[in-house]
Amino acid sequence: MTALTPAAHAGFADTMRELRGTLNQITETTKELSGTAKEVSGFGSGANSSNANASYTAGQRLYPKINNLALYQSPNKSSPVVSKLSKNTDVVFAGNMNKNGLIEVSTEYGNGWIESHLVQ
């Protein structure tokens, strides 16, 4: 039987701390998504995403509601992801929106399209 060295114990402890941090992030993201889902369902049956987005004006500064918000290359969620945006990323509405609820934006990570219901 091999004895564990203090370095091995420290490495194990570091791994457990990282795992705990990751689990906390997942829990936080799940709570944020749950809140966002409630907001989206609160629009009512008569409203659609393009009417809800009509309040955005070109040049308006927006902020992601969740971390890791996908910035798509084109107005299609199956297009390549340019970057993942954090909640503190400055996002500027470029003035274009599509019928699928994606809006064109400019960020420090480049230009692209994001889901309009995931910004405030």
End-to-end C-alpha distance for the chain, whole angstroms: 57
Q: Say what the pTM is.
A: 0.58
The rounded percent of the chain whose pLDDT value lies above 90 is: 52
Report pLDDT for 63.
94
Check pLDDT > 60 for residue 41.
Answer: no
pLDDT, tens only, 42-93: 554 443 444 444 589 999 999 999 999 999 999 999 999 999 999 999 999 9
Looking at the structure, give the CATH architecture of the domain made up of residues 57-118: Roll (2.30)
Q: What is the CA radius of gyration of the chain?
A: 19
What residues does each domain of the chain span? Answer: 10-43, 57-118
Report pLDDT for 28.
78
